[in-house]
A = this chain, B = another copy of it.
Amino acid sequence: MNIAQAERTAAELARLLQDDAFAAFAARAGDLHPYDAAVAYLSIAPEQSELRTAFLTHLDPITLTDVLEELDGEERREAFARIGALRAAAVMDRMDNDDLADFLGELSEEARAPYLAAMSDAEAEAVQQLMSYPPETAGRIMNNRYVWLPQHYTVEEAIAKIRAYSDLSESISYLYVIDGERRLLGVVSYRDLILASVEQRIADIMRTRVIHVEAVMDQEQVADLMRNYDFLAVPVVDDASRLVGIITVDDIIDVVMEEADEDIQKLSGSGKDIDFNTRAWTAAGRRLPWLVLLLFIGVLSGTIISGFEETLDRVVALAFFMPMIAGMTGNTGTQSLAVVVRGLIGSKLSGRQALRLVRRELGVGLIIGVTCGLLVTGIAYVWQGNIMLGVVVGVSLLLTLILGTIAGTTVPLLLDKLRVDPAVASGPLITTLNDMLSLLIYFGMASLFLDFLL
């Protein structure tokens, strides 16, 4: 659907609700792809709280489950609150385990308890099993939409099982073969079954070289694996090699998007989980901690300048080049940071490669520094008619650009090596630290050559 179609559909659904034509509403919404139904729901302004509640209340149970699976975070929590405990339990029994674990995992222990109590025992246990894996691991994003086959089955028996579980087998490409202890032995594709004759044994046609992941593997590594090897699905095993779930490529696309969003948050310091539907207070609350920290760092930069008050007082023109030098250093640092942060996705660097990269960026810093330094020396001389001022500005810029490039490269590499959360190297922090460094160098140089500047 394009945006005009989506708006028309949303308006139509809202009108049906306002006219109390609930049966027509449920039929129309049930015909939509779950994603489109979710888009229609979200297009109701949050202020129209009653309309949102009516929307969810009058969906049929299956569509309601599908729509709730499409929602994220805050919106999903809010939607669950709207539908009431009884309907919520019914929805949860139907939901994919990974979406459910995702939702429950975001709640506090107390908020979670009533939901778990209302669910059927088997479902509740399965979900708690999933939630026992750490966040952002394979165990948390795997699902149970797969069909397994005992190794002693014939192709005919396998096909009978697929028939019986045909709703499960809709969206998947592989069948997993296990032994009596549920240990993963091999994999068979639908195509293998088609090409085999009906009396052949599964054990004879299965491929035994199955690439699998452990449930505790980091989701980013799983994404790298599936992306690099072009897999559609990968089986997940527990520490006893038992098959516990599969991860499908559509969940991986979401992981890839999440990781990219995280990188952008790091680079822009824009705070976690802010999208178009986040309220102003929430968004501001998430962005403020960084800004306050950066405010203090900014004041610290100020104290550097105040340390050179005398120099500045004697050559006020020095202030004219401050924003340029600080800005340029910040910008080159962010450029280097972006190259490193993106490059680290999907490829861990060996020590030798890291060294090669730092050398490369040093080269980049030199080339950029010499070019911009010469340029600004000329500009400063023409503008202020003072060749020494030009030289001080140009040489300072050269030095700060080299330092900025190196800082933008080594800081994230070091943090990655030390396994410290690289969010610490976020763009604004690098920018602000580079600001301070550049002011120190600039005013240091100026004070050194103060006699020639006057």
Interface residues of A (CB under 8 A from B): 2-3, 7, 33, 35, 43, 45, 159, 162-163, 166, 169-171, 173, 189-191, 193-195, 226-230, 232, 249-250, 252-254, 256-257, 260-261, 263-265, 267-271, 274-276, 278-281, 283-284, 287-288, 290-292, 294-295, 298-299, 301-303, 305-306, 309, 312-313, 316-317, 319-328, 330-332, 334-339, 341-343, 345, 347-350, 353, 356-357, 360-361, 363-364, 367-368, 371-372, 375-376, 379, 383, 427-428, 431-432, 435, 439
- Kindly report which residue of chain B lies nearest to residue A324, judged by CB atoms: B298
Whether A280 pairs with B360 at a CB distance below 8 angstroms is: yes
Contact of A317 among B306, B324, B350 (CB under 8 A): B306
* Chain B residues whose C-beta falls within 8 Å of the C-beta of A290 in the assembled complex: 331
- A3-B350, A327-B435, A334-B269 are contacts. A232–B294 as well, Cβ < 8 Å? no
Once bound together, how far apart are the Cα atoms of A283 and B345, in whole Å?
19
Whether A268 pairs with B435 at a CB distance below 8 angstroms is: no
- A316-B312, A372-B292 are contacts. A335–B269 as well, Cβ < 8 Å? yes
A321 to chain B, nearest CB (A): 6
* Chain B residues whose C-beta falls within 8 Å of the C-beta of A299 in the assembled complex: 321, 324, 376, 379, 383
Which secondary structure dominates where chain A touches chain B? helix
- A190-B190, A195-B166 are contacts. A302–B284 as well, Cβ < 8 Å? no
Whether A302 pairs with B323 at a CB distance below 8 angstroms is: yes
Once bound together, how far apart are the Cα atoms of A3 and B245, in whole Å?
26
* Chain B residues whose C-beta falls within 8 Å of the C-beta of A330 in the assembled complex: 327, 330, 431
* Chain B residues whose C-beta falls within 8 Å of the C-beta of A279 in the assembled complex: 360
Given contacts A280-B363, A298-B323, A327-B428, 12 further A-B contacts (CB under 8 A): A3-B348, A190-B193, A193-B194, A227-B250, A232-B250, A260-B263, A278-B360, A284-B367, A295-B375, A298-B324, A319-B322, A323-B439
